[in-house]
A and B are shown apart, each in its own frame.
Chain A
Amino acid sequence: MPRNERRSNDVSIDFTVRDAAGKTWTLSDHLDSAAVVTFHRGDF
């Protein structure tokens, strides 16, 4: 297993942020499929 990798089978998560149109976006509204949430360095 690579470094900094983990599997978790008993943790539920949700969060609310803004999309690129400035609208409120909540993860749980998009979980009829799986979500692959990828974190970016930013300041691009």
Chain B
Amino acid sequence: MARRHDEFLERGGRVFGVSADTAPMNAAMVEKMALPFPILSDPDRDQAITPLGFADEKDPRKISRPGTVIVAPGGELVYSVTGRDYADRPDEDLILEQLGRLKLEPTTQDPPEVGEISPSENAMPYEGLTFYFRGAKFGALALRGRHRELGSEFTDDVKRYVQMVERYLEALPDVEARKA
């Protein structure tokens, strides 16, 4: 979403991330990826993540499932999409289309403030992301090759996952540009 932040602003929507990480962990993420929008902290998942249906109850890490809601000016929840698991990210084209239906004036968004920075001990260093994404892609392609007997539902799912990873790889130069 950072890569297409301007498109959200042009359609009248400011972007806000939410995770169950602490504020210092989110500060580390904002710095690592040079995000143009804030990441907000709901560590007990009781303010936004669970009330809006994003708690991943199957995962012992007490994380959030990926997803997006669009809240219209005034507070009306107009759209919500939830990923099936931590690797199932919502389609940004779909979110932009839904936002555009509100026919709002363009808006602006201040850069996020960060305080103490303390990444998760599981955090992937920025320098490792290219290898991480390539590994995820090649692993998925290898499994698709092994299990073609599972049919088009499986192979189409792998295709969408690989496309998502390729988008992340393509976005890394933009991160470096924002940092420059």
Q: Chain B 82-93 against A: per-residue CB contact (8 Å), 1 yes, 0 no? A: 111010001100
* B64 x A40 contact (CB < 8 A): yes
B71 touches which one: A6, A35, A40 (CB < 8 A)?
A35
CA distance A35 to B156 in the complex (A): 31
Whether, in the assembled complex, B36 has its beta carbon less than 8 Å from a beta carbon of chain A, the answer is no
Count, chain B residues at interface, CB 8 A: 75
CA distance A36 to B83 in the complex (A): 16
Q: Chain B 31-51 against A: per-residue CB contact (8 Å), 1 yes, 0 no? A: 010000011111000011101
Q: Which of A1-44 contact B (CB under 8 A)?
A: 2-23, 25, 27-28, 30-44
Given contacts A19-B112, A41-B64, A43-B61, contact A34 B99 (CB under 8 A): yes
- Residue positions of B touching A, CB distance < 8 A: 1, 8, 11-21, 23-30, 32, 38-42, 47-49, 51-52, 54, 61, 63-84, 86, 90-91, 94-95, 99, 102, 104, 107, 112-116, 119-120, 122-124
- Residue positions of A touching B, CB distance < 8 A: 2-23, 25, 27-28, 30-44
